[in-house]
Structure 1
Amino acid sequence: MSKKYAKRVNELIRMHLTDLLERELHDPRVNSAQVTISDVEITPDVRHARVFYSIIGDDAQKAEVARGLASAAGWLSRELGKRLRTRHTPQLTFEFDESFERGDRLSRLLDELKGGEELTAS
């Protein structure tokens, strides 16, 4: 499978999953939080897809969203199969994407350092 095809399928899956989560999934565990699909990685045979998501919330809310997404994975995969025009519909595995949290933490640390430099300069 070419990289261009994989990239296009990844983006199509991300787009359709975002739409399904926003409009058609009626699971209160997932709908109570703002879930953002950040990336999708399919295997070369397009049978499996790792879906990376992020939310802003505490650990309890993250665990609840993870359970909701795992519960809805079969339904989401079936709905995705109706929308995609691929030979196989990928089995979805959801993984929490920590990159947003790390970026936020680094940004706060840099702001603290900047604030400390301004105090010493005065």
Structure 2
Amino acid sequence: MAYPRTNRIGEEIKKLVSHLIRNELKDPRISNLTSVVDVDVTRDLRYANIFISVYGTQEEKESTIDGLTKAAGFVRKEIGKSLKLRYTPEPIFKMDTSIEKGLYISSLINKVNAKETRNENDDNTN
């Protein structure tokens, strides 16, 4: 069940973390092609699961997660400065694979469509 307050806080954290990744974090492990896809804040506001997407190789994705995990303290401090909450949520960075899954499913659909088109063309020539 979604709660409006946690959704609003999640959106604010998403904006803030996106800004931090783009402008503040200077860790060379963090890829330039990193985006924050979603933020899921627990009901008690103790944790913020931050789902990120990285365009690149598996090694770049892993190193970006490592860099962000090392910067979690800085990110939490910046969240605390920006949002006035009783508790500042602990950021937990997770890789979001929904884009890759979507591309994979899209490629499967394209293959099926291409195969059906070839079968129809073969039937019409006979």
Question: TM over 0.5: same fold?
Answer: yes
CA distance in 1, matches of 2:114, 2:87: 53
Detail structure 1 runs of 4+ shifted over 2 Å in the superposition. Answer: none
Aligned 1:53-64 pairs, distance under 5 A: 53-64=52-63
Show the 5 A alignment for 1:20-31. Answer: 20-30=20-30
CA contact (8 A) 2:41 2:47 kept: yes
Indicate conservation of the 8 Å contact 1:33/1:65, yes or no. Answer: no
**Residue 47 (structure 2) pairs with residue 48 (structure 1):** yes
Figure out how many residues of one structure are paired with residues of the other and give that number.
120
Question: How far did residue 33 of structure 1 move?
Answer: 3.6
What one-letter code is carried by the residue in structure 2 that aligns with 1:10? G
Counterpart residue number, 2:64:
65
Query: Structure 1: which 5+ residue stretches go unaligned?
Result: none
Matched-pair identity in %: 33
RMSD over aligned Cα atoms: 1.3
What is the letter of the counterpart of residue 36 of structure 1? S
TM-score by length of 2: 0.89
Matched ranges for 1:99-110 at <5 A: 99-110=98-109
Q: TM-score, normalised by structure 1?
A: 0.92
Structure 2, unpaired ranges of 5+: 122-126
